């Protein structure tokens, strides 16, 4: 039985004060049927990690370096994220892939580094609008997933969370319909099942892309959607909590 994960990706938003207020408000929310996680900007991880101690809310990072340590200016090692209390690290977010030219291979190395430090990678995959309109959605998400499976093995997928995030739905207000999202989630699970039925059955596959309090209930009731990766709506505690409560 898969549990539901609702993870907030705060991206590069907020200030120390607003982050403190957001964490306090989320902690006060009453969410019983889902695991909540928040991914603040890296500079606030230590602070938020301290505030979440003793709560049921997990901490996640928005990225992780593909190297263990050394001369990698601006990067953050998985071991450091672990010290801050991170349980999750997002890898391969479409903004990282598009704006910082992260390749499938680099994403796979970041994934591996998270796992080796005991951090659960949240592996983001998803097609652009052009790719969807050319009928290439399955080819693209397969390629992105295969880069990890080929380098880390199918067993690594059992230790991660997959987030299907159609790029055209991220931050655009253009949410995938429940049927569109379910179709890709089912495709991914069937693909995994052809390699390892147990891994396919167990792995959580989240949907991400303009999920909010009004559309979450229907998306989350789809059989292969096991939660959400939430951007914009995770910045308002009431909306984030409402998504958690819609499970």
The set of catalytic residues is: 93, 165
Mask 137-176, x = binds ligand PEP (CB under 6 A)? Answer: ----------------------------x----xx-----
How far is the C-alpha of 20 from the C-alpha of 24, rounded, in Å? Answer: 6
- 121 near 161, Cβ under 8 Å? yes
Burial of 73 (0-12, 13-18, 19+ CB in 10 A): exposed
**Residue whose CB is less far from ligand PEP, 157 or 167:** 167
Mask 78-117, x = binds ligand PEP (CB under 6 A)? Answer: ----------------------------------------
Nearest residue to 222 via CA among 33, 71, 4, 17: 4
Among the listed residues 8, 40, 232, 244, the single contact to ligand PEP using CB under 6 A: 232
According to the binding rule CB under 6 A, does residue 38 interact with ligand PEP? no
How far is the C-alpha of 207 from the C-alpha of 211, rounded, in Å? Answer: 8
Listed ranges 20-28, 39-47, 128-136, 231-239: which one lies at the site for ligand PEP (CB under 6 A):
231-239
In angstroms, the Cα distances linking 212 to 26, 110, 134, 218 are 15, 29, 28, 11
According to the binding rule CB under 6 A, does residue 244 interact with ligand PEP? no
**Residue whose CB is less far from ligand PEP, 162 or 200:** 162
Q: Which residues pair with 162 in a beta bridge?
A: 123, 205
- Smallest gap from Cβ 52 to ligand PEP, in A, equals 20
**Residue whose CB is less far from ligand PEP, 40 or 208:** 208
Residue 103, both tokens = 């390749």
**Residue whose CB is less far from ligand PEP, 59 or 77:** 59
Q: Which of residues 196-225 bind ligand PEP (CB under 6 A)?
A: 208-211
Residue with smallest beta-carbon separation from ligand PEP: 231
- Per DSSP bridges, beta strands 88-91 and 120-125 are parallel
- Per DSSP bridges, beta strands 58-61 and 88-91 are parallel
According to the binding rule CB under 6 A, does residue 229 interact with ligand PEP? yes
Residue 169, both tokens = 């739905």
Burial of 135 (0-12, 13-18, 19+ CB in 10 A): exposed
Interacting residue ranges for ligand PEP, rule: CB under 6 A? 9, 165, 170-171, 208-211, 229-233
């Amino acid at each position: 039985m898969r549990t539901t994960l609702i993870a907030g990706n705060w991206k590069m938003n907020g200030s120390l004060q607003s982050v403190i207020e957001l964490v306090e408000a989320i902690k006060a929310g009453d969410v019983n049927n889902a695991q909540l996680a928040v991914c603040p900007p890296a500079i606030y991880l230590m602070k938020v990690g301290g505030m979440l101690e003793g709560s049921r809310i997990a901490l996640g990072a928005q990225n992780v370096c593909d190297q263990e340590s050394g001369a990698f200016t601006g990067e953050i090692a998985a071991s450091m994220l672990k010290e801050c209390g991170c349980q999750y690290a997002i890898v391969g977010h479409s903004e990282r892939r598009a704006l910082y030219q992260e390749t499938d291979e680099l994403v796979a190395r970041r994934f591996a580094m998270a796992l080796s430090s005991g951090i659960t990678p949240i592996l983001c995959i998803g097609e652009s609008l052009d790719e969807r309109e050319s009928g290439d959605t399955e080819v693209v998400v397969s390629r992105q997933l295969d880069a990890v499976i080929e380098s880390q093995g199918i067993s690594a997928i059992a230790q991660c969370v997959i987030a299907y995030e159609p790029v055209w739905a991220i931050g655009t207000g253009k949410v995938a319909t429940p049927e569109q999202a379910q179709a890709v989630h089912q495709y991914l699970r069937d693909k995994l099942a052809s390699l390892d039925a147990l891994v396919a059955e167990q792995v959580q596959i989240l949907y991400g892309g303009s999920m909010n309090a009004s559309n979450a209930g229907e998306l989350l009731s789809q059989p292969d959607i096991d939660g959400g990766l939430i951007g914009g709506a995770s910045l308002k505690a009431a909306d984030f909590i409402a998504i958690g409560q819609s499970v």
